Structure 1
Amino acid sequence: MRRWLALLVAATTSLVLIALLVPMALLIRDVAENGALSRATVAAESVSVAVGTPDLALAVAQVARPVTVFLPDGRTIGAPATRSDAVRLAATGRSVTAAAPGGSEVLVSAQSSGGTAVIRVLVPDDELMRGVREAWLALLVLGLALVVLGIVLADRLALAVTRPVDGLARVSHRLAGGDLSARAELGGPPEVRSVAMALNHLAGRIDELLVAERESVADLSHRLRTPLTGLRLDAESLRDPEEAARMQARVDALQRAVSTVITEARRRSAGRESCDAAAVVRERVRFWSVLAEDQGREVEVVLPPAPLPVAVGAEELAACVDALLGNVFAHTPEGASMAVRLTPHEEGALLAVEDAGPGIDPALLERGNSGGGSTGLGLDIARRTAESSGGTLVVSSPPGGGARVEIVLSAP
């Protein structure tokens, strides 16, 4: 917007200046020409007074410019010049100004006892344009200065409009990223302030809805506890031990599923968490290294020496790492090497898990599908972890074979 406003002001100012400065430049040229011709006319009239007197030659010599006097008898006094049509026209008793080679000639007629004499004064082009080019240059500099000044003022005005808009965009991105405490500053034009007030109202409303959701989740956990306890007591009261054990297992599975749903809802309602990815990955790799050693797997670990914060909770990131490493152990033969690399990324952090197994089946990229009898949710857990932080997940096959899973985690 700033650039377009600057271009608009530059074009408008240029058109206005052209409409004003071009006529002014022409006027300056005309004034300069008229001044030079007027001075030449005065010189010619001063000579015309001496026509018919013995002092004519002296009067011509005293004029500091080329002067020629055409006498009625055909003789000329002063600078040599041809008797042009304009001279013959002036000999009829009229004063004439005409173009001549190298400038303009001013012809003034003077009556004498022998007839009409014509005094010719040549005005060179340099004198006609004296001071005009300097005035034009000054007008050009003035016009450019005004255009630059208009662009600077337009940029300042555009900045007063675009800065609050950029602030609104940053606040909206923060809200989209889970920072519900972000609020827009009320500044700029009235329309922008109105949008900022609406955005702040929306953020407040979202915060209120999330508070209500957290309360609903808390109520749900209490409401489900009683019927689950009743189901457990009913299962324990069954006379058939096998049926009681089967029902007890189903009640336990239902309780775990409900607890998982409530935990997920609470985590979403609580807003975005953060953790040190290096510490979490280091701890989970240490946990899985025991099993890797038993299976004879070579494990390459690359971790940054300094903390690497990411916009994911420690428990969620640990579950993601466990899912990826669990896939390696579940879908590759014993002894296959693996690598875990955590490096800084322009968006936050890059977590890469590679293995030297047979590669990954494209069907595993769909939720719930597995080629090894598992639930098929490992990659889906990793994908949801990446997306919850604002990152991405990419699965590829390295040139040497195997599989490579890369997760980009955004910074908090």
Structure 2
Amino acid sequence: MRRRVSLLVAATTSVVLLAFLLPASALVARVAEARALDAARVQLQLLVPAVGLDSRAEVAAGPVALSDGGRLAVRWSDGTWLGAEGVLGDDPAPAGAEVRETDDGTHLLQPVRREGGTAVLEVFVPEAELRAGVAETRLVLGGLGLVLLLLALGVADRVARSLTRPVTDLARTAHRLGSGDLSARVVPDGPDEVREVGTALNRLATRIGELLADEREAAADLAHRLRTPLTALRLDVEALPPGHRERLQEDVDALSRGVDEVVAEARRPVREGLGAGSDAAAVVAERVRFWSVLAEEEHRPLTVDVPTGAVPVRVAEADLGAAVDALLGNVFAHTPEGTGCAVSVGPRQGGGALVVVRDAGPGLPVAGVVRGRSGGGSTGLGLDIARRTAEGAGGGLRIDSSPAGTAVALELGPPG
């Protein structure tokens, strides 16, 4: 917008300057020519009495002899020339004052009646004198036009900046909100319309924070309500005979852990995890060390390939750890014992990281792994956590499954 305003002002100013400078330049040329011709006419009028009354010898010794560079010529009444021959030559004397133009200048002819005939007085005005001062004046006009154009561009830039700066601030604040910084606010500035947009954006940011807080509070309340029937269920399981009690206790423990995770997630501050960053290499290495104990017990070859340097990504450390746990948990839960597994972390094109978990299991049909997203969109295999984490980080989840094994890739975007 700033550039367009400057271009518009430059075009408008140029048109106005051309409309003023072109006629002014032509006027300067005409004024210079008229000034030179008027001076020549004055000289003619001053010399007419001398030619009309003085003798030939007096005219030849006076005005003709004093002529500057042969500018003055007189054809006497007998047809002979005093001084250099003029442009009239042998032509008849004109009836009145006459102007004749040649390639080198302009000739003014003035007939003078005297006894014995008519003499003709001729004054020559060179082309350089007709154009005297025109070039310098045009340079001054051009410089003035350039100064006015630069001044207009400077004023236009300041005005455009005052218009675009509030819009730029709005865009910057919107990007901060989009990356998860819900504390971002804009100071309303600029025209009334832009101020109104800034105020509306601030209200929207406040409302988003309130809705997220209400959602987490509702989730936490729901999770707490589940604890009471869960405790009663645990007591009922403990009263069962030993044959069925162990298996049901494991299910109840798993359900209890799920409720604890919901409560912990609900209690986390709203801004935590939104636009947060972490080191993908460090998080993956730590989670692989955690799972390596179980892998050793099940005789699973577990390899990890992470770079030595940091690989920053736009996801909180806890969320990335939960996503990696979900992927490794699927491998341990859905492949036979002894099946190998490999985890790798690498930089992603455009920033971020690519986390890949591979196993040498029998493979899974992708259509069966990612089922239709009804309701919450759960995959049924724990991959929904990884998918939501990747999408929240500006990336996505890719699954490549074949009889030779399954590879799940997490694409994570760079920090916002």
Q: TM-score, length-normalised on structure 2?
A: 0.80
For the pair 1:40 / 2:43, whether they are aligned, the reply is: no
Mapped partners of 1:202, 1:112: distance in 2: 102
Bigger mean CA deviation after superposition, 129-138 or 270-279? 270-279
Bigger mean CA deviation after superposition, 111-120 or 354-363? 354-363
SS at 1:105 equivalent: strand
Q: 1:240 to 1:181 in 2, by over 3 A?
A: same
Bigger mean CA deviation after superposition, 128-137 or 215-224? 215-224
Q: 1:72 to 1:17 in 2, by over 3 A?
A: same
Q: 1:216 to 1:381 in 2, by over 3 A?
A: closer
Match of 1:341 in 2: 345
Match of 2:413 in 1: 409
For structure 2, list consecutive stretches of 5 or more residues without a partner in the other structure. 374-378
Q: How far 1:31 sits from its partner (Å)? A: 0.9
Q: 1:180 to 1:344 in 2, by over 3 A?
A: same
Match of 2:305 in 1: 301
Bigger mean CA deviation after superposition, 37-46 or 323-332? 323-332
Mapped partners of 1:80, 1:56: distance in 2: 15
Alignment of 1:213-292 (within 5 A): 213-230=215-232, 235-236=236-237, 258-267=259-268, 269=270, 271=272, 272=274, 273-290=276-293
Alignment of 1:2-151 (within 5 A): 2-52=2-52, 53=54, 54-58=57-61, 59-65=63-69, 66-83=71-88, 88=92, 91-92=94-95, 94-151=96-153
Q: How far 1:191 sits from its partner (Å)? A: 2.6
Mapped partners of 2:339, 2:231: distance in 1: 46
Match of 2:323 in 1: 320
Letter in 2 for 1:24: A
Letter in 2 for 1:164: P
- Select 1:381's aligned residue among 381, 385, 399: 385
Q: Are the counterparts in 2 of residues 367 and 377 from structure 1 also a CA contact under 8 Å? A: no
Q: Are the counterparts in 1 of residues 305 and 345 from structure 2 also a CA contact under 8 Å? A: yes
Q: 1:393 to 1:70 in 2, by over 3 A?
A: farther
Alignment of 1:189-200 (within 5 A): 189-200=191-202
SS at 1:49 equivalent: helix
Letter in 2 for 1:192: V
Q: Are the counterparts in 2 of residues 355 and 404 from structure 1 also a CA contact under 8 Å? A: yes
Q: Percent identity?
A: 46
Q: Deviations over 1:226-279 (max 9, x none)?
A: 34445555x459888889889877766665555555555555845424434332
Mapped partners of 2:66, 2:226: distance in 1: 123
Bigger mean CA deviation after superposition, 171-180 or 58-67? 58-67
Letter in 1 for 2:409: V
Count of aligned pairs: 398
Letter in 1 for 2:115: S
Q: How far 1:11 sits from its partner (Å)? A: 0.8
Q: Deviations over 1:13-70 (max 9, x none)?
A: 0111111111211111111111111222233333323214232123122121422223
Letter in 1 for 2:370: E
Q: How far 1:138 sits from its partner (Å)? A: 2.0
For structure 1, list consecutive stretches of 5 or more residues without a partner in the other structure. 370-374
Alignment of 1:141-220 (within 5 A): 141-220=143-222
SS at 2:51 equivalent: coil
